[in-house]
Amino acid sequence: MPPKVLIVDDQPSILTMVSAILGDEGYETVSTETGSEALTLYERESPDVVFLDVWLADLDGLQILEALRERDPDAAVVMISGHGTASTAVMAMKMGACDFIEKPLSYAQVVQAAAGALARRSPETGPPAPSIGDDRLVETGELKVPPLLPLLRAGKLRQRTLRQSTVVYGLGLHSGTRTGMALQPLPAESGIHIVTLPSRTHIPVHVSSVADTDYATTLSREGQEIRTVEHLLSALHAYGVSNLLIKVHGEIPVLDGSAIEFCDLLEEVGLIEQDAALPELVIDRRYEVGNGTKSLVIEPADTFSVSYTLSYPPPIGDQFHEFTLSSPAAFRAEIAPARTFGFMRDVKMMNELGLGSGGRLDNFILVGEDNVINTELRFPDEFVRHKILDIVGDLYLLGYPIRGKVTARFTGHRDNIAILREIVGATARS
């Protein structure tokens, strides 16, 4: 029996188009223009997948989604909208929708959304390769750029992705606006990708996409940018998540200013090991950027470790910490809770630059002339630990876990990205 899809939209042209696309792909379809009839058809037809418009003439699409999920907790629903927002998308995902796609719909979007929803209904088939961005598929090995191949070695771990989709909602640290993010599993060998909302621009999570490193790491493509990726990436690096689709609007949510809530999220949702080995990027020689006072070095080692030295005037002072990424648990205990920090003296300048607007008393450490103003420290050396957190995240922009020893003095995001580009350039020349 072919899979059956129920299509609910108050525009007859959309019903005709989606029905034709799915019919060509071997699906059986039923359709309606009203939400009330949709509930009746769901009971009578028992469809495998539902395409549901957010805006209908008689009922709100989110209400219908809620009703469907109450009647059938396994209902596989794809929300569609002509004028959706990040908050609407996040709300739909929180309520149990498999995906959120926007009009005008394309052939690839519809087919891949149906396949993804069907896979959720029948999880043994595994997550499909989704349609993203300008509807090009995520192709196998897209992030595995040839210049890095000489440094790749077979690792002991398997590739990982999320067990199921999930959503996060919060403030952007620098934009100060509400931002939503959906995380969705991807098949083995896909890599990590961002799709911007609502433009659906595809941004590979790779050093080649880095556009800015002032106060945070920003990725950009085709005029669209996503800020503050490093805290999420640090958790993904530590937990070995190598295949993931991130749908986000403007900026990754800052949450509490650390990576601990991302760790909580990964553990709550769960990870699955995939049928492919996870290569490691094995540092083959000494790489260095900076100068005598400010420097970042990475050199061969049997594990991935970071030693960081910083020096600020009181109340921070001189701090040193060394961390070895031996397990997700070690990262969670020693590094993940360390929050981002800023200085009262820099607030005016950051405001003039349009940065730091999302800084609140509970999502970063505010340092005054003589003391920490707004919070109790989680570690006596929380500042240096957060610098290590940023390095763990930024260095994952090569697309692989790293085996090498990092030694850093007074460095930041710009230096982290510079050494990645040095590694890419050196391997390209070899």
Over residues 55-77, the pLDDT tens digits come to 888 888 999 999 999 999 889 99
DSSP code of residue 212: E
User: Does residue 221 register a pLDDT over 70?
Assistant: yes
Instruction: Express each pLDDT in 177-195 by its tens digit.
Output: 666 787 888 888 888 999 8
Beta-bridge partners for 185? 244
Three-state DSSP class for 377? coil
Q: How far apart are CA 126 and CA 188, in angstroms?
A: 10
pLDDT on residue 125: 44
DSSP assignment of 254-313 equals: -TTSSSHHHHHHHHHH-EEEEEEE--EEE--S-EEEE-SSSEEEEE--SSEEEEEEEE-S
In this predicted structure, the answer to whether residue 143 has a pLDDT above a threshold of 60 is no
Cα distance between residue 127 and residue 86, in whole Å: 23
What pLDDT is attached to residue 127?
44
Least reliable range by pLDDT among 63-77, 220-234, 247-261, 269-283: 247-261
What are the structure tokens assigned to 105, written together? 């719909």
**Mean pLDDT lowest among 168-177, 214-223, 367-376:** 168-177
Instruction: Look at residues 242, 305, 324 and name the one whose alpha carbon lies nearest to residue 275.
Output: 242
Of 30 and 248, more confident = 30
Distance CA 316, CA 382 (A): 9
Q: What is the mean pLDDT of residues 126-151?
A: 45
Band (350; pLDDT cuts 50, 70, 90): very low
Where are the extended beta strands (E) located within 33-157? 49-53, 77-81, 99-102, 131-132, 136-137, 152-153
**Count of C-beta atoms within a 10 Å radius of residue 399:** 21
**212-216, 292-296, 337-341, 390-394 — most confident range:** 390-394
Angstrom CA distances, 9 to 57, 78, 114, 155, 281, stand at: 9, 12, 16, 48, 48
| Token reading at 170 | 């919060």
Closest CA to 393 of 174, 152, 218: 218
pTM: 0.72
Unique residue bearing structure tokens 């007859």: 12
Residue pair 297/406 in contact (Cβ under 8 Å)? The answer is yes
Measured between alpha carbons, how far is 24 from 2 in angstroms, rounded to an integer? Answer: 12
> In the prediction, which pLDDT does 346 show?
60
* Domains of the chain with CATH codes: 4-123 (3.40.50.2300), 146-280 (3.30.230.20), 281-429 (3.30.1700.10)
pLDDT value at residue 92: 84
Element (H, E) at 226: strand 224-226
Closest CA relative to residue 158, chosen from 245, 271, 326: 271
Residue 427 in tokens: 């391997």
pLDDT digits (tens, 9 = 90+) for 21-45: 898 888 999 999 999 999 999 999 9
202 is catalytic: no
Does 48 score more than 50 pLDDT? yes
Q: How far apart are the first and last CA of the chain?
A: 55
Q: Which of 132-146, 250-264, 301-315 has the lowest mean pLDDT?
A: 132-146
Residues 205, 257 contacting (CB under 8 angstroms): no
Looking at per-residue confidence, does 418 or 127 come out higher?
418
Structure tokens at 8: 């609910």
Per-residue pLDDT, 392 = 98
Which of 64, 23, 19, 74 lies closest to 40, judged by CA?
64
423 Cα distance to chain centroid = 24
Task: Check residues 110 and 355 and name the one with the higher pLDDT.
Answer: 110
Which of 117-121, 183-187, 350-354 is most confident?
183-187
Give the pLDDT score at 197. 72
The rounded distance, in Å, linking the Cα atoms of 248 and 345 is 31
Q: What is the pLDDT of residues 92-115, one digit of tens each?
A: 888 888 888 888 787 777 887 888
The encoded tokens of residue 319 equal 């701090």
Residue 286 structure tokens: 């000494």
Q: How confident is the model at residue 130 (pLDDT cuts 50, 70, 90)?
A: very low
Position 173 scores a pLDDT of: 57
pLDDT beyond 50 at 233: yes
